[in-house]
């Protein structure tokens, strides 16, 4: 996956937005103002995804390319090295999980609007 594919996939998620809130090189993806992903647009060496704390640890143990969130809360975020060792399918699954985890923290009314579920 290259940066264009990463960006396209993140923006394909319902109501996802992108921005550069921290500096000119850190691209951040949000849903309703809450971050679900980020990367350095100059290097694209890592992407950050949100995880449940217990899942974050399991993934770090299972995959060498998954490390504690770089410049993030290491309890809730993992960084994935974009070195080609993780399949695009797996990366997309983790991005989806991050997106859905963030949605689960939003008010019920907004969750229903985004997912169509009660």
Place of tokens 């060498």: 64
- Report pLDDT for 105: 92
- Name the token pair of 19: 């921005």
- Report pLDDT for 70: 86
Domain spanning 3-115, CATH architecture: Alpha-Beta Complex (3.90)
* pLDDT of the chain, 118 residues: tens digit per residue: 999 999 999 999 999 999 999 999 999 999 999 999 999 999 999 999 999 999 999 999 999 999 999 888 999 999 999 999 999 999 999 999 999 999 999 999 988 888 877 6
Q: 40 forms bridges with which residues in the sheet?
A: 26
């Amino acid at each position: 996956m290259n940066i264009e594919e990463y960006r396209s996939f993140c923006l394909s998620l319902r109501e996802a937005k992108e921005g550069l809130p921290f500096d000119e090189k850190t691209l951040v993806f949000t849903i309703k103002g809450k971050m679900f992903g980020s990367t350095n647009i100059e290097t694209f060496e890592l992407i950050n995804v949100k995880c449940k704390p217990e899942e974050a640890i399991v993934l770090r143990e299972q995959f060498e390319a998954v490390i504690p969130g770089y410049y993030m809360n290491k309890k809730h975020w993992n960084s994935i090295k974009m070195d080609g060792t993780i399949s695009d399918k797996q990366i997309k699954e983790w991005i989806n999980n991050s997106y859905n985890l963030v949605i689960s923290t939003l008010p019920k009314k907004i969750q229903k609007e985004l997912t169509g579920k009660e």
